Amino acid sequence: MSGKVNRRKLLVGAGSAGLIASSGVAPAYAQNKRRLKMVTTWPKNFPGVGTAAESVAKRVEAMSEGELKIKVFAAGELVGAFEALDAVSTGSADLYHGADYYWQGKDPAYNFFTTWPMGMTATEFYSWIEFGGGQAFWDELASKFKVKPFVCGDTGTQSGGWFTKKIETLDDLKGLRMRMPGLGGEVIRRLGALPVVLSGGEIFQSLQSGAIDATEWIGPWNDQAFGFYQIAKYFYAPGFHEPNAALTLGINLDVWESLKPAHQEYIRVACQAETQRVRTQYFYNNAVAFQTLINKHGVEVNNFSPEIMDAVKKISADVLSELSQTSELAGRIYKSVQKHSELFNKWSLHADEGYMRMRRDG
């Protein structure tokens, strides 16, 4: 897309654009023990993304033999879902578990650390973070908000969404009110739809009342649990907007630096273990739920048309390019992402995709 970039209006996300500084000092250890508070962006006990926060907290407590204990608060229990970063940044909470593209209103570059349209798969993303320099970029960004971030889960390739009508042409998207956060929301806006940002706990009621016409959430497993199939019978897969969806454990930087080295390592290792567990958990349960939706609930599975996907690819490239111009840091991250996407794509075509094609075709 040509023309001057309007940096203030490029992206509309949750949260204010201001930077809030930490106002407290990290609490000290008491009798060799530490108690921390974690807020999340998820409904209480929600399978997968929600229980990941509880799982990592239990893992840290077990590894530290009770020296480091984390109390988890679901969205709304201590702060709202979209207030989690502010809570950790200011020190009113010690950690958060969520998806960092929720903070795009703080800095659009946060999108790079959850997912972006037509972007990396979960394996590619995690490879970039761990070995391609992604973590250093993320640390630089998050430090502005006094946070130390880690990947702590990934849902893998998400679904395209649930629709109350068939989406066959670009005209079918015009005026469609769809829940979709992040850069995916900007893409569908340019396709003529009206993106709406809602937390997970608000989606079903909004779909049921007609406040929205369509929604994406995660994939068959979680979507079935929310009962979207009861209202919207047209299911589209896969999701161009979220080829992966990395989850984040963010820790107040003062708290992080005050932890014992061993306790820092426990958190780091617990996040790595949880990332693997969540990825495989989603892959398995999505496969099971996908069949249930089709065979038991009569859901119609569709793919977006070539016309729609051609437009999506072009607009996605435009949106990402414009994002790269929002700051000097965003520009550096974009160059790294482009470089590694090209690198991974060449190998994936030869390896994973090549094998899957061979297995499918015999």
In this predicted model, what pLDDT tens digit does every residue of 164-216 receive, in sequence order? Answer: 999 999 999 999 999 998 899 999 999 999 999 988 889 999 999 999 999 99
Phi/psi of residue 341, nearest 5 degrees: -60, -45
Query: Which H, E and C letters describe 156-182, residue by residue?
Result: CCCCCEEECCCCCCHHHHCCCEEECCH
Mean pLDDT of 5-29: 44
For residue 62, the tally of other CB atoms under 10 A from its CB is 12
Counting Cα atoms < 13 Å in the Cβ hemisphere of 90 gives 11
Burial of 239: CB neighbours in 10 Å, binned 0-12, 13-18, 19+:
buried
Kindly tell me if the per-residue pLDDT of 4 is higher than 70: no
Nearest Cα to Cα of residue 98 among 251, 268, 227:
251
**pTM score > 0.85 for this model?**
yes
pLDDT tens track for 302-315 = 999 999 999 999 99
Instruction: Examine the pLDDT at 13 and tell me if it is beyond 60.
Output: no
For the cut 60, the answer to whether the pLDDT of residue 17 exceeds it is no
Q: Give the single-character DSSP code of 117.
A: T
**Cα-based angle 102, 304, 187 (whole degrees, multiple of 5):** 35
| Residue that is written with structure tokens 């990290």 in the block | 26
Place of tokens 């407590």: 61
Q: Residue 149 and residue 85: Cα distance in Å, rounded?
A: 11
What are the angstrom distances between the C-alpha of 18 and each of 40, 106, 239, 280, 362? 20, 6, 31, 37, 55
Question: Which stretch of DSSP H or E encloses residue 250?
Answer: strand 246-252
- Predicted pLDDT at 19: 36
Would you call 252 helix, strand, or coil by DSSP?
A: strand
User: What is the rounded CA–CA span in Å between residue 279 and residue 152?
Assistant: 10
